[in-house]
Amino acid sequence: MSHPKSTIRKKPPKQLAVIDVDRCTGCEACIEVCPVDCIDRIRPDAGATSFQRFCEINWDRCIGCKLCIRLPAKKSNPYELLVCPWDAISMVPAADLPEAVARIGGPPHYAAEHRPRLEAMARRQAESLPGSSALPG
């Protein structure tokens, strides 16, 4: 898939957005606002029912801007505009991403199909932080 809004990050962000799969409905509201197109709705896998849809964040490209959580308030409208209707997104320190993946939730078929890939991506982020002593693995 091409990502017209994609950017090359100059350095890894300190925090990255993580979606709680147990809360996500795949509504795509977060996809609409992400400035770098790093959120995708993932293909339902073999075990999914037609009601199960999830979105996923590509941490290799997330810039940690938090726009998928809340849009900045304007002077004319001081109320915060929350993006995710299900409060499914939180910011996690990049160093803690591998632990966050373990708590990401989702039904067993989701975990079986997607977690190994997410774990590898999370490790990559943690290891790319300045001063990281983690060994590639």
Q: Which residues bind ligand SF4 (CB under 6 A)?
A: 17, 19, 24-30, 34, 36, 38-39, 55, 57, 62-68, 83-84, 86, 88-89
Contact 70, 80 (CB under 8 A): yes
Q: Which two tokens stand for residue 52?
A: 């199960």
- Whole-angstrom distance, CA of residue 73 vs CA of residue 51: 33
Toward ligand SF4, which CB reaches closer, 57 or 126?
Answer: 57
Nearest to 25 by CA among 105, 114, 100, 122: 105
Toward ligand SF4, which CB reaches closer, 61 or 98?
Answer: 61
Toward ligand SF4, which CB reaches closer, 85 or 116?
Answer: 85
Toward ligand SF4, which CB reaches closer, 17 or 100?
Answer: 17
Residue 115 beta carbon to ligand SF4: minimum distance, rounded to whole angstroms: 17
Residue 24 beta carbon to ligand SF4: minimum distance, rounded to whole angstroms: 3
Half-sphere exposure of 125 (CA within 13 A, CB side): 31
Helices and strands, number each (H, E), in the chain: 3, 6
Residue 135 beta carbon to ligand SF4: minimum distance, rounded to whole angstroms: 27
- Whole-angstrom distance, CA of residue 12 vs CA of residue 64: 9
Residue 131 beta carbon to ligand SF4: minimum distance, rounded to whole angstroms: 22
